[in-house]
Amino acid sequence: QHLRHTVRFNEAVQYLHTHNVTTFLELGPDGVLTAMTRAIPAPEESETGREVTALPLLRKGRPEGATLAAALAQAHVRGRDVRWEGFLPGGRAVALPTYPYQRDSYWLSAPAAPVAPGPAGGHPLLDGVVELAAGQGWLFTGTLDAEAHPWLAEHTILGRTLLPGAAVAELALYAAGRAGAAEVAELTLEHPLPLDGRVALQLMVGAAADDGTRPLALHSRPEGAPDGAWVRHACGLLAEDVPAATGEDPDLTAWPPPGAGEIAVDGLYARLAERGYAYGPAFQGLRRAWQHGADVYAEIVLPDTADTGGFALHPAALDAALHTALVGTGAGDRLVVPFAWSALALRASRPARLRVRLRRGPDDVHSLLIADGDGVPVFTAGSLAVRELRADPAAAAGPVHGAGLFDLRWSPLRTQTSLPAGPWAVLGDGGALGDGGACADAVRAAGVAVRAYPGLEALRAAVDGGAPVPT
């Protein structure tokens, strides 16, 4: 048929264009069809939007091995998945330095669609669950994507978007329910989880011990980085039985709380933003607050736009409840985040309006009770310890996800300070500095490089009596 009928090569290539094929390999003795493929324009209905790559695996008059290797290498640097272990058996992959060797493509794309919850009892942030054989536990997997769940991008601390600690607690409670545990006995947040892109999650629940407890751990790494190391962000224990209650029974049916004095919360979130808490509308749920001794009460209302489907208690609502610790007498002005929880229990309810009682304790350890709009308990935490966040959110986030020697990270654009007057200038982290003793002190402290301007000798004389300065 190939010899006796019309080949229709042009139509075949255009058909592939309309099905988003962008890479062509010619399996013939030369590169004739490769040149023809490159010359065939994509039809108007094609939506590839990308440059077409056409490569010959053989060329007349050229070494076959070198031609084949060059074609595979070109496909590799254009983002195609080449199985090098089949072409170079026994070889090993190594990370190459400098930018030209990196082959990640950053294409603008439509916002990702939210992942639909799985079967009945599914979770909006988790898309898979596996019960391990022989009673070894459970593995929950998911993807954090601020495009699919925009509220995730509204929790920013010190200029960096982080997964709320309340979301980690809610995930742990969900895993406890699926594993048959009654409560989260312990939960420690080891490192904040930065949301610098799509992040793959693994939430693991281990086998039951003799006392019925099960270990829990939350790991993450950037999606699309198969060689990247998993970072553990939280660990804890799940318990099958809830300890017997002691002390007074919680009661939030009387509202506002009798005998409590109201706290003004107007402009609260603007003041918190000045301290480093940048909360979007989804997290600005604290509407009113009262204080009675060591107890602080609050009323939390989720915005109408919040999608609570799949959450027994939306993480944004739980996080807003934690803002109760930031108001009233004894709140202080430090930048604190949740660190360790104990005795976490959750009832299956999806209230949009919450009543909160936070009882302050010594050493930044509090207890927490959350009820629905009628005062019926929804969430309890026997203790919640907070800790001060370090000024560097990148350092606070713990180990850096890494997929090689070099990673692409987006940083805010800083406006450069104008240079001061004078025959020389020193540039450092603190901006531009001019002549004078303060500049000399800065040079001694930081050891910054100085450009050789006419006044360099004067600077040398000012620093430690003529000590050499790097130029």
Residue-level pLDDT at 172: 95
Q: What is the mean pLDDT of residues 160-168?
A: 93
Residue-level pLDDT at 407: 57
Cα distance between residue 246 and residue 241, in whole Å: 15
Cα distance between residue 319 and residue 315, in whole Å: 6
Radius of gyration for the alpha carbons in the chain, expressed in angstroms and rounded: 30
Residue 413 corresponds to which tokens in the numbers above? 């654009």
Model pTM above 0.85? no
Residue-level pLDDT at 428: 47
Cα distance between residue 192 and residue 173, in whole Å: 18
Cα distance between residue 415 and residue 426, in whole Å: 17
DSSP type of residue 107: -
Band the pLDDT of 312: cuts 50, 70, 90: confident
Residue-level pLDDT at 2: 77
Q: ω into residue 256 within 30 of 0, thus cis?
A: yes
Residue-level pLDDT at 419: 46
The per-residue pLDDT for range 251-291, each reduced to its tens digit, is: 788 998 899 999 999 999 999 999 899 999 999 999 999 99
In degrees, to the nearest 5, what angle opens at C-alpha 192 toward C-alphas 191 and 195? 135
Residue-level pLDDT at 359: 93
Residue 184 corresponds to which tokens in the numbers above? 């989260």
The per-residue pLDDT for range 19-55, each reduced to its tens digit, is: 888 899 999 888 899 999 988 887 775 654 567 889 9
Residue-level pLDDT at 188: 95
Q: What is the mean pLDDT of residues 435-445?
A: 55
Q: What is the mean pLDDT of residues 363-376?
A: 90
Give the DSSP H/E element, type plus range, for residue 360: strand 353-360
Task: Count CA atoms within 13 Å of residue 55 on its CB side.
Answer: 19
Q: What is the mean pLDDT of residues 389-411?
A: 55
Residues linked to residue 217 through DSSP beta bridges, in sequence order? 204, 235
Q: Give the best-scoring range by mean pLDDT among 108-112, 133-137, 167-171.
A: 167-171
Query: What domains, with CATH codes, occur in the chain?
Result: 9-101 (no CATH), 128-239 (3.10.129.110), 261-336+349-390 (3.10.129.110), 414-471 (no CATH)
Using the predicted structure, report yes or no on whether residue 307 has a pLDDT greater than 90. Answer: no
| Nearest CA-CA partner of 221 in 189, 244, 265, 191 | 191
Residue-level pLDDT at 213: 93
Cα distance between residue 37 and residue 31, in whole Å: 10
List of residues 6+ apart from 246 with CB closer than 8 A: none
Cα distance between residue 105 and residue 111, in whole Å: 17
Residue-level pLDDT at 98: 57
Q: What is the mean pLDDT of residues 457-463?
A: 58
Using the predicted structure, report yes or no on whether residue 170 has a pLDDT greater than 60. Answer: yes
Residue-level pLDDT at 423: 47
Cα distance between residue 26 and residue 35, in whole Å: 10
Cα distance between residue 331 and residue 324, in whole Å: 9
Q: What is the mean pLDDT of residues 383-408?
A: 63
Q: Tell me how far CA of residue 292 lies from CA of 53, 336, 344, 450, 461, in angstroms.
A: 70, 22, 24, 59, 64
Percent residues over pLDDT 90 in the chain: 40
Q: Helices 315-322 and 165-178: crossing angle, nearest 10°?
A: 130
Band the pLDDT of 118: cuts 50, 70, 90: very low
